[in-house]
């Protein structure tokens, strides 16, 4: 490896809002505060909640109904 081109690799401490502390190494010095970590993230803890998006699609179609209808009419004219 070339000398002098690589950043300095120091000990780092990641502190999560949930209180979890992770000791690792990084090019960033000191303590890094994070909002979420693997100990409290719903995906990793198994407490993942499914978001009900059934109303979102209908709301989208209602909002853009005019544009959607124009596109459908244009497609029918081409055929």
Q: Are residues 36 and 22 in contact, defined by beta-carbon separation less than 8 angstroms?
A: no
Which pLDDT belongs to residue 79?
Answer: 63
Which pLDDT belongs to residue 49?
Answer: 58
The pLDDT-based confidence of 76 (bands split at 50, 70, 90) is confident
Pick the CATH number of 10-78 from 3.40.20.10, 1.10.3720.10, 4.10.80.400, 2.60.120.10: 4.10.80.400
Which pLDDT belongs to residue 15?
Answer: 93
Q: Assign residue 50 a region: left if phi > 0, alpha if psi is -120 to 50, beta otherwise?
A: beta
The pLDDT-based confidence of 21 (bands split at 50, 70, 90) is very high
Q: What's the pLDDT tens digit per position in 30-67?
A: 899 988 888 887 766 676 655 556 677 778 878 888 87
> Domain limits of the chain?
10-78
């Amino acid at each position: 490896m070339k000398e002098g081109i690589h950043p300095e690799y120091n000990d780092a401490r990641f502190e999560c809002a949930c209180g979890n502390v992770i000791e690792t190494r990084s090019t960033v010095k000191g303590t890094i505060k994070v909002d979420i970590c693997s100990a409290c993230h719903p995906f990793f803890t198994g407490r993942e909640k499914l978001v009900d998006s059934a109303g979102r699609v209908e709301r989208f179609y209602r909002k853009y109904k005019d544009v959607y209808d124009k596109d459908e009419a244009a497609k029918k004219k081409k055929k």
